[in-house]
Amino acid sequence: MTTPFARGGATVATPAGSIPELYEIANQLRIDSIEATTAAGSGHPTSCASMAEIMAVLFFRVMRYDPATPRAPENDTFVLSKGHAAPILYAAWAEAGAFPREHLLTLRQLGSDLEGHPTPRLPFVDVATGSLGQGLSAAIGIAFDARLSRAGRRTYVVMGDGESAEGSVWEAAELAPRLRLGRICATIDVNRLGQSQPTMLEWEMDVYRRRWEAFGWQALMVDGHDVEALIDAYDTASTTEDRPTVVLARTVKGKGLLGVEGKENEHGKPLPPADAERAVSALRAKLGGAHGPWAPLQPTVNAPLKATEPIGAAPTPSYAPGDKPVAPRKAFGEALAALAGTDERIVAIDGDVENSTYTELFQKAAPERFIEGYIAEQNMVGMAMGLAARGRVPFVATFGAFFSRAYDFVRMACIGHNAIKLAGTHVGVSIGQDGPSQMALEDLATMCAPPDMTVLYPADATSTWRATELAASQPGPFYLRLGRPEAPLLYGADERFEIGRCKVLRQHDDDRVLVVAAGVTLFEALSAHDTLARDGIHVRVIDLFSVQPVDRAALAEAARACGGRVVTVEDHYAHGGIGDTVLGALNGTGTAVRKLAVLEIPRSGKPAQLLDHYGISARHIVEAVRAMLHTVP
């Protein structure tokens, strides 16, 4: 069962809600939220009730949009950061005529797009929310896209007071004023109560105000149930262009819900049917018929639609086998800079390491499309979510290890199918002396966990260039694993690379063991091949390149040709990396697989020393092949 989203057939009258109408709409939204959650047997009606007037004023007095085309680029944009209040979001769109009100009763049912927390399965949702503290970051990305598009739209985001404890909120709060995003207006629903107890600040409104002002925002304190006060605040925000605005709305959790208004320990609890009936009856008694047919305020500035065709290839790389070695991270920067000139949809975000990730090359090529995110990885990925939702192709670059602190944003981007492109450099022990805090050694495990994430691990400059092109031109989220050390050139400029395909680099009719590697360990595998060949032992070497999806057919064929003996080698921990990927691909084929990986927390040292010390150098590959031939006939 899916939920149809076609505009209702009501005749239109006034272009914006009067004050009596807005109070009635707020109570209708409460009614809808109660009925939907009670029918579902789960949900958060008290969290919806506290923000009913906020939603009524925003949707039926302030925002300019067409409910029939919610993703039109000229429409004002709304992000519900407190995603557990999804029922009132759905109720507002139903009230606006986006879909029939009766579909609200399919809330949380299997097959209904009205899920417990919003996802972009719905045409009026840009990013998945529900993991708190992410909406403001996404709103920055959406607003930055509006600036690049020269669109006149404004971006509104409603947050909960409880999520203000998230550090990601303040990462976003400090950057928005620096970017001079005056067309963002955030609202905090300060209803005082969290899930299990009161929030940190409860109703200390002046503390909220001082904090936000200290970050450079215009902070406006209002009674969140006073429609006129809310209208005045949003009018002030709309005339403020030099800085973003936050509306601090003091509210009561469960406002208007008989028996639970302002009570603790009612979070996430639908009203039992009898209580729901009493609460709805009391609210219906307040509906005097003031609100009737309604038409939205139309956008005043049209924005051009972005191109939807795939991004074209960058100029052919100039790398060639035998050239001076090039670090994959540098080749990434060079490819990204070349792509900057091919399509204005590409945006780069970096976390104060652009001279290490080489996104500084993109910054020079397209400075207006480069965002210095500073050391705030959560906000960087959150901004990318918003940019991707609006058709941009955002590349986020930092050390691979530092994406771990933003992983919840990565997870939510995958849930929302936001096509973020992540470039993680400085991976594995091969980065050398900086030590384990800088070494991404679990990134393949985490990035391969979401099934829709494409993970590419190029070994040389040419394959990195092509991997960057693939990330830009193909839909969906991507992770590029990029080595720090300079690497020899393996591939010519005319070599083709594909998602889901590997490369067989060494092959002989008498191959006895298959060695699968990627990135820096590929060169160790090639060296081991040469050592073994001198002793008359032939091994087949595969550059895995595409870790997810993996080339199951090619791996199975190569393993079969090598007698079912496989050695994998990776600059990564043993769990969840290349070895486990190959094991999964060869499951059920009767293949014996020996994994060489980093088995302990490493320490500082020179790259070559560390590769050997942790058992993933050419010497260890040779020993593993010999041992496998001895034990597996």
Catalytic residue annotation: 377
Integer-rounded Cα radius of gyration of the chain: 28
Instruction: Name the β-bridge partners of 246.
Output: 186, 219
Contact status, residue 569 vs residue 521, Cβ threshold 8 Å: yes
- Listed as own residue / partner, the contacts of 437-440 with beta carbons closer than 8 Å and 24 or more positions apart are 437/401, 438/399, 438/401, 439/401, 439/602, 440/399, 440/400, 440/401, 440/403, 440/404, 440/481
Contact status, residue 628 vs residue 446, Cβ threshold 8 Å: no
Chain centroid to Cα 51, Å, comes to: 26
d(CA 251, CA 224): 5
d(CA 133, CA 193): 16
How many CB atoms neighbour CB 235 within 10 A? 12
**If we measure between CA atoms, which residue out of 210, 217, 165 comes closest to residue 187?**
217
The one-letter amino acid code at 293 reads P
**If we measure between CA atoms, which residue out of 188, 495, 174, 493 comes closest to residue 338?**
493
- Helix, strand, coil % (nearest 5) of the chain? 40, 15, 45
Within 13 A of 430's CA, how many CA atoms are on the CB side? Answer: 30
**If we measure between CA atoms, which residue out of 422, 440, 402, 401 comes closest to residue 571?**
440
How many CB atoms neighbour CB 5 within 10 A? 18
Q: Angle 340-127-441 (CA atoms, 0-180°, nearest 5)?
A: 70
d(CA 218, CA 180): 12
d(CA 168, CA 40): 31
What are the strands of the beta sheet with 218-223, ordered from one edge? 77-80, 155-160, 184-190, 245-250, 218-223
**If we measure between CA atoms, which residue out of 102, 90, 93, 91 comes closest to residue 75?**
93
Backbone angles phi, psi at 78, to 5 degrees: -125, 130
Torsion-angle region of residue 590: left (phi > 0), alpha (psi -120 to 50) or beta? left
For 2-43, the DSSP string reads --------PPP-BSS--HHHHHHHHHHHHHHHHHHHHHHT-S
For 373-388, the DSSP string reads --S-HHHHHHHHHHHH
Contact status, residue 117 vs residue 130, Cβ threshold 8 Å: yes
